[in-house]
Amino acid sequence: MRKQIVAGNWKMNMTFPEGINLIQEIINNSTSLKEAQLIISPPYLLLNEAVSLTEETNIGIAAQNCSDHEKGAFTGEISAKMLSSLEMKYVILGHSERRAYFGETDQLINQKIKQCLTNGLQPIVCCGEIMEERENKEHFNVVAKQIKGMFERITAEEFDSIIIAYEPVWAIGTGKTASPDQAQEMHHFIRETIRNSYGSEIANNLSILYGGSCKPSNAKELFSNADVDGGLIGGASLNAKDFIAIAYSF
């Protein structure tokens, strides 16, 4: 079912005590929130406590990544099965920073998606173009290629668990934001691309989030678009009041 979602990606921020305080602030400020599903994605060291603290709330917990392997001699990696054992629900995959800094490919992300689905986790799968690709009017082709590679051999039944986040990479941490029209145009393109591969029912139920410098001042205008179902929030998710204000923008 298509949901309105606001997911906070903390990235590599927050010590353990800072993270606990932020989680508690978010819980305290979201008690009357009914419009959107809140998801927070702290660093790994906070995941177990995050699950415990939010157990009696409507807040979901997401890991920021997982391994493409089930288990084995992969020092420093964390598997989908391990994350599932924490009784959490979501994993962010294919973030532009993972692509840029760690060389992740669509094929690698595809393997991670399969690991998540096998272990009952919902992937929040990212796609998006860099500035050069947009300026060269290649952005639709880039995103279509990413979608094709990342979801190869993913069945319609499996796709029902997928959430997509569109990241205009040129708008992440730059202070730039895609205009509401640009966001809607790409979100609509993504939905139609999924419709062509998986049919109308899957496409209509798919939640597509916007991830690119979304903040309280622009969230309402972005979320008012027909194909924008919420946001994958970076910097603003590190401030409880800003994060909750975004969630109240629906």
Residue 188 catalytic? no
Residue with tokens 């499996």: 158
Give, for 6, the enclosing helix (H) or strand (E).
strand 5-9
Residues in contact with 56: Cβ distance below 8 Å, sequence separation at least 6, in sequence order: none
Angle between helices 139-150 and 106-118 (to 10 degrees): 40
Q: Spot the catalytic one: 70, 95, 135, 201.
A: 95
102's tokens: 């760690």
DSSP string, 143-173: HHHHHHHHTTT--HHHHTT-EEEE--GGGSS
Give, for 16, the enclosing helix (H) or strand (E).
helix 16-29
Angle between helices 180-198 and 216-223 (to 10 degrees): 50
Residue 18 catalytic? no
Q: Spot the catalytic one: 97, 133, 167, 187.
A: 167
Residue with tokens 């406590």: 49
Residue with tokens 């989908």: 80
Active site residues: 95, 167
